[in-house]
Chains A and B, each alone.
Chain A
Amino acid sequence: MRLKIHHQTTYHYDSPVPYGLQQLRLRPKSREGQEVLHWDIAVAGGKLEVCYEDEHANTVDLVSFDPGQTEISITCSGEVEVTDNHGVVGRQKGFVPLWLYERSTALTQAGDGIKALVAGLTRGETDLATLHALSAHILAMVPYSTDQAASDLTVEQAIAAGHAVCQDHAHIFISAARQMGFPARYVSGYLMMDDRVMQDASHAWAEAHVPGLGWVGFDVSNGISPDARYVRVATALDYRGAAPISGMRFGKGAESMNVSLQVQQQ
């Protein structure tokens, strides 16, 4: 499936920003099951400083604000050809040892909520079946809702809230899978929802490492494994490591953010 993506993020600031930086993880890579035909990032109100590959093989762009800006806008546009691999991403590549994905992070630290969730899970006959069961169990226990309390919830806060957005679902899955001994990681990317061109936001899901199969994706919020409508952009131990945009700035004043995202089949 050929997906055409146009993704614009605009930040407005109440007062001019004297100095600021943003780290972008917004470049999908060609890999098995995914071919990037072309991809461009344009920055208005800032400039590209450096570009490198991080430890998870994500391409990172560091952008600095043009001094005194009150608005910075990042526009990604491109086309990606995706094939349906039933969520199977394949073996671990590069230098990152698998044990790194067993480390918990501040956002995925398992507490009583995760432990209870894992204890209540009926395991399947295979690892794969168990992980699918986990995904369904999470969705049943913590249903999807667009009503997000905060963007940086820990897994325990999300479970306590009783409902979750895709980011929280991915974190809960990662935390629970690690509890069960599976290396697991966070994926940020794009999903073409079949019924619309304008998408609400970029998407997130989780991957677990299954012996024999390698990395397999699980989209808890949608109750499936990623198919040809999913574009993988960045992976990390949690949201903070894979966030499409993270940054810092000097200066006071409030900011607001506006996202416009179109994903459509060509």
Chain B
Amino acid sequence: MVLDIERDQRRFKQIVRGRIRENLRKYITHGEMIGRRGKDAVSIPLPQLDIPRFRFGKNGSGGVGQGDGEVGDPVGKPGDDPAGSGGAGSEPGSGHLIEVEVNLDELAEMLGDELELPHVEPKGTASISAEKAKYNSVRQTGPESLRHFKRTYLNALRRQISTGNYLPDDPRVVPIKSDKQYRSWNDVPRPEVNAVVIYLMDVSGSMTDDQKQIVRTEAFWIDAWLGKQYKGIEKRYIIHDAVAKEVDEHTFYHTRESGGTRISSAYKVCAQLIDSTFPVSDWNIYCFQFSDGDNWGDDNRQAFELLNEKLLPAANLFCYGQVESPYGSGDFIEALRKQFGENDKLALSEIADKEGIYDSIKLFLGKGK
């Protein structure tokens, strides 16, 4: 009998996907899978998947027509047995976890389904060219793994016929070195719609590690979703207290400063970055800013000017997430609401704790921009 292993594999994948979907909210709000991220896949711990199977008893250990009792005695009903000693355990079960690798695109798809996210509509046309290898030519040298069998044997056949070595009664075609043909590639410029995600985070003294973890978890899902929507996505990171600078991803999540909070400093660096590196006509620009909203002094005015004149016109979407600190939440988000309430490019979200990540992602990415 031939076992259809592919069918079983598909079925297994379906079960795994089902389990992940059931617990997706938990995975979204808890950042545990971030550390398990590879280049294209993420490893997710799942409770052991039990495969249903028959369990056989031992021969002669009871059953119908065996054991104590006389002919004619009624058979006991289930549950008639006296209760055993001892109660239920108080400790959690020691269920084993299995690690399942899920493709990031697949995960993003689940996220999209769960949150009912619309697909992103890229702005403008695909005007950035990326070199893409395309196997569209043939050469006489190359690795055996790329040998073009059909062309090689055609060449051999042609040679054997022309040299009179082909015998129709014994039609054996044996290629020699000069017959061999190999597939080869050319670099073809292919237009791509490119996108850049710029993360801005307040790392002033009032932002704690817990808040940064929330930002990190949310950024993971944003990356997953936008990465599925755009191929060739770029990510940039800006941190600020009273001054701002562009940093790498690790520094972004692990820096703590004691300076005051001036959000305008981050907006300024972001605007400069867009001007110098990401022309608005060629790039889809997404900005995600996170802060506890405790902006200092009269900085709101300067920040709003930059947002209004530089960032909102350039960005597809500008998202501001106000993460609640141990001191509650500042008033920057309220000021933004008053100033830009109806602006379609601006999404504002208050994230009270980890549980708030789910709704925040839905709000940010639900705009479909």
Q: Do A and B bind each other?
A: no
